[in-house]
A and B are shown apart, each in its own frame.
Chain A
Amino acid sequence: MNKREFIAKRAARFFEDGDLVNLGIGMPTLCLNFLPEDVDVWVQSENGVIGLSGSPKEGEEVDIDIVDASGSVSTMRVGGCCFDSFTSFGLIRGGHVAVTVLGAYEVDQEGNLANWSIPGKTVAGMGGAMDLVSGAKKVIITSEHCDKKGNPKILKKCTLPLTAVNEVDYIITELCVLHRTEAGLILEELAPGVSVEEVVSKTDADLIIPDNIKSMV
C-alpha cells in the first residue's frame, strides 16, 4: 500500500453506514476502495447526483450525461438520483452531507484551510470547495504531511488565500491523525514506526500531545 492509499484507508474509517459523503478528486476518492465492512456510503457529487459508482467497467453501457466532479464519465447505483446544481449546493450548504474529504495546500491549527489558489501560480477558481468546507458536518483533510520540497503544510497560520475559516475537523497524513478542537490540534494517532518527535519536527503548528496516542492502523 502506498502513502496515498494508507491515508485514504484511515480516512474511510471515519465513515458511518448510510453517510452521504462528498469526496474531492484524487486521494479523497480513493477512500471508496477502503470502506470498512458493513459500511455503505452514498456519494454525493456537486454537479447534481447522489449514488455515483465510478467509471464504467469494460462492456458496461456508457451514458455521457453521467459525470463526476472532475467531468469524467461515471456510473450510478440503483437508488441514486439526479437534481440541479441549486439543490446540490442546498444539500452541501444545508448540512445534509455527513462528511467531506478534501485535499489541502495548507491547513492551520485554527482549522483554516487553503486549497484553491496559489497567487502567481494557479488561477483555477474555487469551484464548490468553499461551500463544501463551510457546509459539511465533518471536514476531513487528507494530505501528505509536507509539500514536495519538504516544507510543512500544517501551519500556525495559513499564508495562501483561504477556502474557509475554522471549519477543518481532522487532518490525516502519512504520519498521523490530528484532531482540531477549540483547545487546539490534538495528535490523536501515529502511523506505525513514526515518533512524536518526527511529527513535531515536520509540523509548523502548536500540537497538543496526549499521554496515550493511538495507532493509525
Chain B
Amino acid sequence: MTKSKVVSLDTAMEKIKSGQCLMVPGFVNCGVPQTLIAGIIEKGYTDLDIISNNTSVKGKGIGKLVHENRIRHITCSHIGNNTETVEKVVNGEINVTFVPQGTLCERIRAGGAGIGGVLTPTGLGTIMQEGKQILEVDGKAYILELPLRADVALIHAWKADKMGNVIYHRTARNFNQIMASAADYVIVEAEEIVEIGELDPDIIVTPGCLVDMVVQARLEDRDE
C-alpha cells in the first residue's frame, strides 16, 4: 500500500526554519503558494533567503513576507509590481539580486537537473555579465550562469494525488514546475487532493517522487 504524503499545515511547517533559503513560485500574484505563506507568517519564521520571480503586489502573496519583514535577501527578476518591496530595497532593509527571468528559469532547472551551469546569450554586454565567465561556442559568446537550489520549495498545485503527483491550472503553473525539482525538501499545497490513480499519468506535470509533503490549500488564504 502506497503511503500518503498528505499532512496538516502545522506538520509541514515543522520542516521550515528561520534563515533558510526558500523557493517561492508565482508570477505577480498568480500561482503563489498562499496557504504555505500564511503558515510561515503564523509560525514567525524570519531572516529568509527567497528565490522567486517577483514579490506579488503590496500586502498580498509573497508581498505578505515583505510586509512582515521576514525576508533578508531575495533573488528575483522583478519587484516593480510591489511598491513596498521597492521601498524596502531602497532603504536597505532587503537585499536584492536581480536575474533576467529566462536565466532564473535555467539556473533553477540546472539546479534540479544536476547540470553544472548553463550558457546563455541573455545579458551579454550588460551589467549581468559582470564577474561571470564568458565562453565562446562555435564563434558565439555566452555567459556561464550557475545552478540555483534551495532548502525548501513551496509549490501551489491545482490538483495533487496523495503520492504528490501534481497538475497545475492555466498560467498558475509558471515557476512551480521547475522549483519543485530544485530544493532539498518540497512541500505542495493543492486546491484539490485526489486519490492515487485519479490523475491521468499522461497529464501529470510534477512526478510525485519530487514531492515530500502535500497540504490542503485553504480557500481563505487566496487573494482575489
Contacts and interface: CB of A to CB of B under 8 A. Distances in A.
Contacts of B80: 122, 124-125, 127
B27 A131 contact: no
Contact of B79 (A84, A112, A125): A125
Interface in A77-126: 82-86, 88-89, 92-93, 112, 122-126
Contacts of B224: 64
Contacts of A165: 124-126
A131 B122 contact: yes
Nearest to B87: A123
A208 to B, nearest CB: 23
Contacts of A135: 102, 121-122
Contact of A67 (B30, B78, B124): B30
The secondary-structure label for the interface of chain A is loop
B204 interface: no
A124 B224 CA distance: 24
Contacts of B158: 65
A63 interface: yes
Interface centre among A49, A70, A84, A123 (most CB of B within 10 A): A84
Interface string B91-123: 000001010111101101100000000001111
A61 B77 CA distance: 31
A46 interface: yes
Given A71-B57, A89-B102, A162-B125, A126 B77 contact: yes
Interface in B14-69: 27-31, 53-54, 57
B150 interface: no
Contacts of A123: 79, 86, 89-90, 96
Contact of B178 (A46, A84, A128): A84
A47 interface: yes
Interface residues of B, number: 50
A130 B81 contact: no
B154 to A, nearest CB: 16
Interface stretch (B4-12, B166-174, B193-201, B208-216): B166-174
A164 interface: yes
Contacts, number: 143
Given A67-B171, A130-B100, A130-B126, A89 B28 contact: no
A56 interface: no
B173 A84 contact: yes
Contact of B126 (A92, A124, A161): A161
Contacts of A122: 80
B77 A49 contact: no
Contacts of B86: 123-124
Contacts of A85: 27, 53, 101, 105, 174-175, 177-178
19 contacts: A63-B170, A65-B172, A71-B30, A82-B170, A84-B176, A86-B106, A86-B108, A89-B106, A122-B80, A123-B79, A123-B89, A124-B86, A127-B77, A128-B100, A128-B102, A130-B123, A130-B126, A131-B103, A164-B124
Interface of A: 45-49, 63-67, 70-71, 76, 82-86, 88-89, 92-93, 112, 122-131, 134-135, 161-166
Interface of B: 27-31, 53-54, 57, 76-81, 86, 89-90, 96, 98, 100-103, 105-106, 108-109, 120-128, 158, 168-178, 205, 224
Given A86-B178, A134-B122, 9 more contacts: A46-B101, A47-B28, A49-B171, A84-B174, A93-B122, A127-B77, A130-B123, A134-B124, A164-B122
